[in-house]
């Protein structure tokens, strides 16, 4: 069943890379509504308006949400939970009852923190981003081919979920549904632990007197790129998805230990099998990881992810 997005006024609470890219994308698709934004500081909101990302802004939260039919909370996980805890009870007792969704990478902690069964709340998480942050990096194509995971709870009104889904579909994303706990465990493995691994690798090299970064090629470029990510967001993710993240890191450590044993034993045959299996697994998942290559293979956009295949061996 396809539902049209009927939202006329979107309120972004927090204006950064992700919420700004959503705004840019909707405008690029010709969506005719109004986008307003609230945030704690004027300069980035002002810049968002100057860049044409948003139509208006205010530092007054009440004013920004008063006419909104769709509220999008775009903040680091802990701030998202705090804001929802404050807002949802107010929306529940309001006459307007807008749909509200969020963008946080963690769903369980945020939903628990919100601790309100407002039926218009649709927990969400776009699997897209960049190590750059801020509205200046907002990009209308950020969500094309990417997954948006929604984790509606037992309290969520299906028509609210359908509206959030319809909004995201305008951006070229594909929307899927997961349970809250499956989301947090799957993302711990697919994203949160890889970020921790990138951080650990970067720190391991940082003070090496041989300056290995100075001899890095495409492999090191890619394996440390996300170590440039926003420290506050990743602090929040590590704090709020603690158990699933530790489980995922233990899985990676167990494989590292297994690989080290093969290296210690100079077991070339077993290593070749291990690496071959990894090559097959990686290739089998290449399309989902490089969606633009698949979807727009002849366009300029399509050529971008291919570039990520460029220089790297060593």
Block residue for tokens 């509206």? 163
Block residue for tokens 């809250």? 180
Q: Token pair for residue 109?
A: 């902690």
Give the integer Cα–Cα distance in Å for 65 and 36: 9
> Considering only CA atoms, which of 167, 17, 193, 38 is closest in space to residue 101?
167
Say what angle helices 193-206 and 231-240 make with each other, to 10 degrees: 130
- Residue 1 or 266: the one with the smaller Cβ distance to a second copy is 266
Stated length of the chain: 314
**Strand, helix or coil for residue 11:** strand
As a whole number of Å, the CA-based R_g of the chain is 21
> Considering only CA atoms, which of 136, 135, 90, 131 is closest in space to residue 114?
90
Cβ 195 to a second copy shortest distance, Å: 6
* DSSP labels, 20-31: HHHHHHHHHTT-
Block residue for tokens 């942050």? 133
Cβ 236 to a second copy shortest distance, Å: 8
Cβ 296 to a second copy shortest distance, Å: 13
Cβ 63 to a second copy shortest distance, Å: 29
Is residue 13 a contact partner of residue 61, using CB atoms and an 8 Å limit?
Answer: yes
Cβ 19 to a second copy shortest distance, Å: 12
- Residue 3 or 254: the one with the smaller Cβ distance to a second copy is 254
- Residue 90 or 277: the one with the smaller Cβ distance to a second copy is 277
**Strand, helix or coil for residue 60:** coil
Cβ 250 to a second copy shortest distance, Å: 8
Cβ 73 to a second copy shortest distance, Å: 16
- Residue 88 or 292: the one with the smaller Cβ distance to a second copy is 292
Is residue 146 a contact partner of residue 296, using CB atoms and an 8 Å limit?
Answer: no
- Residue 1 or 307: the one with the smaller Cβ distance to a second copy is 307
DSSP letter for 214, please: G
Block residue for tokens 């969400």? 124
- Residue 36 or 240: the one with the smaller Cβ distance to a second copy is 240
Give the integer Cα–Cα distance in Å for 126 and 187: 11
- Residue 99 or 140: the one with the smaller Cβ distance to a second copy is 140
- Residue 88 or 173: the one with the smaller Cβ distance to a second copy is 173
Cβ 102 to a second copy shortest distance, Å: 14
């Amino acid at each position: 069943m396809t539902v049209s997005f009927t939202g006329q006024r979107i309120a972004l609470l927090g204006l950064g890379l992700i919420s700004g890219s959503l705004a840019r994308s909707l405008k690029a698709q010709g969506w005719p509504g109004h986008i307003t934004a609230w945030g704690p500081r004027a300069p980035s909101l002002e810049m968002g308006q100057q860049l044409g990302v948003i139509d208006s802004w205010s530092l007054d939260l009440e004013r920004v949400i008063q006419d909104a039919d769709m509220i999008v909370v775009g903040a680091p996980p802990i701030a998202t939970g705090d804001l929802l805890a404050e807002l949802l009870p107010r929306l529940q007792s309001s006459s307007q009852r807008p749909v509200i969704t969020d963008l946080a990478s963690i769903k369980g902690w945020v939903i628990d923190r919100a601790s309100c069964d407002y039926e218009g709340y649709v927990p969400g998480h776009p699997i897209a981003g960049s190590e750059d942050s801020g509205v200046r990096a907002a990009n209308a194509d950020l969500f094309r081919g990417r997954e948006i995971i929604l984790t509606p709870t037992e309290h969520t009104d299906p028509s609210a979920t359908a509206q959030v889904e319809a909004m995201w579909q305008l951006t070229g994303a594909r929307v899927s549904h997961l349970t809250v706990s499956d989301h947090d465990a799957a993302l711990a493995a697919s994203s949160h632990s890889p970020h921790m691994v990138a951080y650990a690798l970067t720190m391991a090299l940082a003070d090496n007197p041989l300056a290995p970064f100075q001899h890095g090629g495409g492999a090191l470029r890619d394996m440390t790129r996300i170590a440039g990510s926003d420290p506050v967001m990743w602090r929040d993710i590590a704090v709020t998805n603690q158990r699933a993240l530790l489980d995922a890191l233990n899985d990676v450590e167990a494989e590292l230990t297994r690989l080290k044993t093969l290296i210690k034993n100079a077991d070339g045959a077993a290593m070749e099998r291990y690496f071959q299996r990894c090559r097959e697994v990686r290739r089998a998942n290449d399309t989902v990881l490089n969606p633009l290559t698949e979807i727009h293979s002849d366009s300029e956009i399509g050529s971008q992810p291919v570039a990520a295949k460029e220089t790297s061996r060593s």
